[in-house]
Chain A
Amino acid sequence: DAGITQSPRHKVTETGTPVTLRCHQTENHRYMYWYRQDPGHGLRLIHYSYGVKDTDKGEVSDGYSVSRSKTEDFLLTLESATSSQTSVYFCAISENPDEAFFGQGTRLTVV
């Protein structure tokens, strides 16, 4: 398995609070991604990074921000959590655009 660790694995938070999810990799891969997975929607890209401090938006980026200050860490922040952000969040990494490897996921519940 690719060396990807997501933390926390599960979290329950209240509406309106900020939440940060962490993705840590030991593969030194250049590209890192955050996806959310919801029933009927598959995996949708939130944000991605193509290098330290280089990030770009995906298709569902509203309400989310990211930061990548080191190659190995990619943080996803929900600035003010809403119930619609209840989801399973996956981090992925790749060294080139041709293959992406996924972490175990973080299940986030916003109440």
Chain B
Amino acid sequence: GQQLNQSPQSMFIQEGEDVSMNCTSSSIFNTWLWYKQDPGEGPVLLIALYKAGELTSNGRLTAQFGITRKDSFLNISASIPSDVGIYFCAGTTSGTYKYIFGTGTRLKVLA
């Protein structure tokens, strides 16, 4: 089946640093979504992107829908300890209602 390649798989950063992660696909996607999951909880939607080239922010988070429609990027500025968790990208392709998920980026913030 379709897969989304998410990188990096994990990262340790210092508090206050900026973070970047990305997601790539072999297929064209119509929608890109970014989620954060805390331990023992379900994923929570952070940002949704609908158009190629779109740049959307949610507080310290900024995500972009790649021009090729095969990738997306998430940036977190000035990281804080509560940013710890697993970040997932997800997308839908034309004509489907199925969300395909990446394998996640595990973020750990060192105070």
Interface residues of A (CB under 8 A from B): 31, 33, 35, 40-45, 48, 50, 58-59, 90, 92, 94, 97-105
Contacts and interface: CB of A to CB of B under 8 A. Distances in A.
A94 to B, nearest CB: 8
B1 A59 contact: yes
Nearest to A30: B97
Nearest to B49: A98
Contacts of A44: 101
A89 to B, nearest CB: 10
Interface residues of B, number: 26
Prevailing SS type, chain A contact patch: strand
Nearest to B89: A42
B99 interface: yes
A45 B103 contact: no
Contacts of A48: 97-98
Nearest to B103: A42
B48 A98 contact: yes
A87 B91 CA distance: 23
A59 B41 CA distance: 23
Contacts of A40: 103
Given A42-B88, A48-B98, A97 B44 contact: no
Nearest to A2: B45
Given A90-B42, A101-B45, A33 B99 contact: yes
Contacts of A35: 101
B41 A104 contact: yes
A103 B33 contact: no
Closest 4 CB pairs of A and B: A102-B42, A43-B101, A42-B103, A59-B1
